[in-house]
Chain A
């Protein structure tokens, strides 16, 4: 890997939110120490392979990375500095949770060189925050942003969730408004998903909560699309909005199929040939590394078909869409024919824009993008079969 992005997963939280299926456990200070030690070993393990490559972006996610502590974050960066080339890092993001982020720690981040902070706000409505099982209230969000602005980070981003049980369109609009007023240049808006093995999933199964109507969710999404666009935020990816030039370089590496290395439990990596991921257990992660063994749980080598699916669904997520020329060259298919057939099946102009060179989804298209991706995959197969029959 010549250039790559680095992701570090901090798997601890004070409290697990009801909807969250990211890998995290309840904070245990001694486990954090072991996690740091294991992480330093893992960094060391990759030194030989990636020591000469340029790291372009670093993203520390979680969990609640604001719980790492000032001393520990410094030792992590010291280790990164000795093992990898950090001088060309253009974007260094840390995710923080408004509940439990200390000004002292945030100052420390600035010193280390963090230039982007992403705040897990989720909602500007206290009762929605309670529903979600967040530990913070709106007042803490305001307080955190005052601190962040005072410290003077280059870029601020925040996350919101829509489709929360009981959430109304008006409340969603107020959250959007507040978010913009926080002075962020980037927003990630996620539609609530009922992931298996989360409390929300079970509550839904027992009919104790009523998921939002998909029609309402669509209106919320479309509202965000229109409303933010009119305030200078470009909808550059299915769930992400940014002021021009403020798109997240790190996140883009995932859907542009750039290379990335993930460290920490359950972190994922990609080197252009294969994908691999670490064990989804802090204990196993720590144990393996303490014995000098790799914490990688499994890996997969991508075949031609996997690549094609990935290329398709990842590029459809982006604002620039799928480049016809690139797709045709990579996967040897008459993609214009595919689009033609797609248009026969779905007689509608609201889902995509095709300008001859690229195929882009509209916001309506993004909200049904799994269906469209499946249609395209099916038609691609058909076109290939027709082709075979001809020869």
Chain B
């Protein structure tokens, strides 16, 4: 029965070998033949493969015959591998009974390993510690072992040593999954409850939730209801996952699978929500559901304003597969019609933007990202601010609150000083330091998220020569001395360049932003004056001198064709510029803040 089912995840830091281990397990169980194996089957978006990260999770079922001659069903639920998606990770883990905690033998424990290990512990998962890449020359198995033992409090002999690449230690992994991960709690007669841990969109069958059935059973023809969204559907098909969807007669307590119910609206299918039977509903949903809210916002505008409707339909398509992407139309004086998009974090933002440009062939202007602010007005009202240009006049505001996160950095002790200084510069509040061993230290800070969305990652990498790893979780909103920094070009404020900053840094940022823009805005046929202002006070000023020369004079020998083509080429280059007032501003200027040296 369901006693031979094992549901598990793999948690690991980027590049520690999660996808390779998954690939080997699929081969080992004959789920996929070696011949059909593209490296890293589970990451099927190009972008994911290029970046070596998993954004969307893909469950997969393997049939495995153990040495005890019994046949087992192993459901591997892959987890998104990035800090922006910690809630999704926690829901995927909640669908499992066990987790493989994979650590690179030469890298040791990283921030993501720690935060995801804690998520697994919070969800009462059995953790199987694995040290991977043991045959690499830089492997330091002893220190990885100590870090793991310190992190999850395991015994040395519980740790499995593998090389996912060569397949070494793979049998030990299977043995541990069978012997250590408990079978699901089998409760087929309870009212039906299934946890949604992901979903996908199929243009023929609608939104398809991926579920772990906790209690009861479900089959086609029955009616289901979603607790959080309160929507009801008739089940058209249920099934499990191999390399694709495999239709089955029913799903029962302990199973991992999908439910098709002709669901058109993705907003009804929320990760973490519970599905129950409409006729015989469960009394309560499964615990842990949270309404997810975007953390980071930015404006998205077509370079060519005629592409607005294309952008809308592309965003709609994108959102069908990604319920965490939200967007609403907005208008900018400078950029015209576009959208304010909300993302879970910076990586999520970059991925969405790249996919839009790549898959839908759109030329986009993206404005600087900002976090969600809360303005508490003098009359007691609270206004949520998703766009700096929506900031009410300073005189009407009692206080502005900004989101804080609990940030965890793991770094070699050599760089501890640098990292502390960086966190301090980013207005961080020091919490604790914990030495993982003599060489690695974990630092906990509370940081304003607004400081992180600019260049915290890049800075962190550079002050630690690439060694530091970083993870965060949102905690709360706190008052901050925040002001709106405006940029004026030839005297006109450009709304798309406004920015909310801490007052202490406003002058410095204003100067630097001005000089960055000066670099990026090409010389025009007139002088361009760039000013930074807070309210009506100008705090910095710089100018782009008028263009003196743009001429290719020679046409000797009568080669007019070449000259004409040259002009046409120049004209095309101009298409990537946005005309703001009389000034032509290149696309990248709107993201200039991210490239500043602050």
Chain A residues engaging chain B, CB cutoff 8 angstroms: 7, 9, 22, 61, 190-191, 193, 214-215, 217-218, 238-239, 251, 254-255, 260, 262, 266-270, 275, 277, 300, 306, 309-310, 313-314, 317, 344-348, 351, 366-375, 377-378
- Find B553's partner among A22, A239, A374 (CB 8 Å cutoff): A239
B461 within 8 A of A: no
Tally A-B pairs: CB < 8 A.
106
Find out whether the CB atom of A277 lies under 8 angstroms from the CB atom of B547.
Answer: no
Find out whether the CB atom of B555 lies under 8 angstroms from the CB atom of A309.
Answer: no
* B551 contact set on A, CB distance < 8 A: 191, 238, 366-370
Q: 17 additional contacts, CB 8 Å, given A348-B525, A368-B547, A374-B567?
A: A193-B552, A217-B549, A238-B551, A239-B554, A254-B560, A255-B555, A270-B558, A270-B560, A277-B559, A309-B564, A310-B564, A313-B564, A346-B582, A367-B550, A369-B551, A377-B567, A378-B571
Find out whether the CB atom of B567 lies under 8 angstroms from the CB atom of A306.
Answer: no
| Contact A370 B554, CB 8 Å, known A275-B561, A346-B525 | no
* B280 contact set on A, CB distance < 8 A: none
Find out whether the CB atom of B571 lies under 8 angstroms from the CB atom of A371.
Answer: no
| Contact A378 B558, CB 8 Å, known A214-B548, A215-B548 | no
* B559 contact set on A, CB distance < 8 A: 268, 277
The interface bits of chain B over 529-563 (1 if a CB of A lies within 8 angstroms of the residue's CB, else 0) are: 00000000000000000011111111111111101
Find out whether the CB atom of B526 lies under 8 angstroms from the CB atom of A190.
Answer: no
Find out whether the CB atom of B549 lies under 8 angstroms from the CB atom of A268.
Answer: no
Find out whether the CB atom of A368 lies under 8 angstroms from the CB atom of B525.
Answer: yes
Q: How far is the CA of A374 from the CA of B567 in the complex (A)?
A: 7
* A277 contact set on B, CB distance < 8 A: 559, 561
Find out whether the CB atom of A268 lies under 8 angstroms from the CB atom of B526.
Answer: no
* A344 contact set on B, CB distance < 8 A: 582
B574 within 8 A of A: yes
* A310 contact set on B, CB distance < 8 A: 560, 564
Closest B residue to A9 by CB, please name it: B557
B568 within 8 A of A: yes
Q: How far is the CA of A310 from the CA of B566 in the complex (A)?
A: 12
B570 within 8 A of A: yes
| Contact A347 B557, CB 8 Å, known A214-B549, A368-B547, A368-B548 | no
Closest A residue to B563 by CB, please name it: A313
* B553 contact set on A, CB distance < 8 A: 190-191, 238-239, 317
* B563 contact set on A, CB distance < 8 A: 313
Chain B residues engaging chain A, CB cutoff 8 angstroms: 525-526, 547-561, 563-564, 566-568, 570-571, 574, 582
Closest B residue to A344 by CB, please name it: B582
Shortest CB-to-CB span from B79 to chain A, Å, is 48
* A22 contact set on B, CB distance < 8 A: 556-557
Find out whether the CB atom of A371 lies under 8 angstroms from the CB atom of B558.
Answer: no
Which 5 A/B pairs are nearest by Cβ-Cβ distance?
A218-B548, A268-B558, A214-B549, A371-B550, A370-B550
Jot down 9 A-B pairs with beta carbons below 8 A, ordered by A.
A61-B557, A254-B558, A268-B559, A344-B582, A346-B525, A368-B550, A372-B525, A374-B570, A378-B574
Shortest CB-to-CB span from B490 to chain A, Å, is 10
Most-contacted residue by chain A among B552, B553, B555, B559 (CB, 10 A): B553
Find out whether the CB atom of A306 lies under 8 angstroms from the CB atom of B557.
Answer: no
* B566 contact set on A, CB distance < 8 A: 370
Shortest CB-to-CB span from B577 to chain A, Å, is 10
* B582 contact set on A, CB distance < 8 A: 344-347
* B547 contact set on A, CB distance < 8 A: 368, 371
Q: How far is the CA of A20 from the CA of B553 in the complex (A)?
A: 14
Q: How far is the CA of A253 from the CA of B212 in the complex (A)?
A: 81
| Contact A262 B567, CB 8 Å, known A218-B549, A368-B550 | no
Q: How far is the CA of A350 from the CA of B9 in the complex (A)?
A: 70
Q: How far is the CA of A300 from the CA of B561 in the complex (A)?
A: 9
Most-contacted residue by chain A among B551, B560, B574 (CB, 10 A): B551
Closest B residue to A240 by CB, please name it: B553
Find out whether the CB atom of B549 lies under 8 angstroms from the CB atom of A309.
Answer: no
- Find B560's partner among A9, A268, A375, A377 (CB 8 Å cutoff): A268
* A254 contact set on B, CB distance < 8 A: 555-556, 558, 560
